């Protein structure tokens, strides 16, 4: 899978971990963060069996995160498993995956895009994207947890 996507996903996971609500969720998220470097190494070495097993382990920790299913689809595509890759993308869609551009451009998904069944996956992702809330430029990407106050901003010079 695109290394940039995984790097982004790990960074996103770090941000989300600060907002985890339970000690169990924090522990599971930390396990995800600890697993991704091994998953990346397995991908770099072409060990798709190990990468798949690690990705499935991550899915077990955070089953509601569509990015893990997307990453599994990339692994399956790279391994030549079209049907399994498309199934993983369908699961990502069911969880709300909405990155249409990622589906269209990720080189790891090239094998899946060549399959006629990919169009239905793309349609599902497009529906998710249309339903996703639109963020305005002034909308922060993360919410400040209620237990903390926002970082004070420097006073504006006049």
Q: Is residue 14 part of a domain?
A: yes
Name the residue among 86, 91, 125 with its Cα closest to residue 109: 86
- The pLDDT tens digits for 5-45 are 555 555 555 555 545 468 899 999 999 999 999 999 999 99
Domain that holds residue 118: 3-130
Q: DSSP class of residue 148? A: S
Q: Is residue 124 part of a domain?
A: yes
**pLDDT value for 22:** 84
**pLDDT value for 148:** 37
| CA 63 to each of CA 32, 111, 122, 134: distance values in angstroms, whole numbers, following the listed order | 11, 25, 21, 25
- The whole-number average pLDDT for the span 106-123 is 98
**pLDDT value for 1:** 60
Q: Is residue 140 part of a domain?
A: no
CATH number of the domain where residue 16 is located: 1.25.40
Q: Mean pLDDT of all residues in the chain? A: 82
* Number of domains, the chain: 1
Cβ atoms < 10 Å from Cβ of 63: 12
Name the residue among 86, 78, 24, 34 with its Cα closest to residue 58: 34
Q: Is residue 150 part of a domain?
A: no
Q: Is residue 143 part of a domain?
A: no
């Amino acid at each position: 899978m695109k290394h940039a996507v995984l790097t982004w996903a790990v960074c996103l996971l770090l941000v989300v971990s600060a907002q985890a609500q339970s000690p169990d969720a924090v522990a599971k998220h930390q396990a995800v963060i600890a697993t991704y470097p091994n998953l990346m190494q397995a991908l770099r070495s072409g060990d798709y069996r190990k990468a798949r097993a690690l990705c499935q382990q991550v899915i077990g920790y955070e089953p509601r995160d569509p990015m893990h299913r997307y990453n599994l689809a990339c692994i399956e595509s790279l391994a030549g498993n079209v049907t399994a890759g498309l199934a993983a993308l369908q699961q990502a869609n069911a969880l709300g995956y909405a990155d249409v551009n990622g589906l269209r451009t990720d080189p790891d998904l090239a094998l899946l895009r060549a399959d006629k069944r990919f169009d239905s996956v793309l349609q599902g992702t497009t529906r998710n994207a249309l339903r996703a809330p639109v963020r305005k430029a002034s909308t922060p990407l993360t919410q400040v947890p209620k237990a903390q106050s926002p970082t004070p901003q420097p006073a504006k010079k006049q």
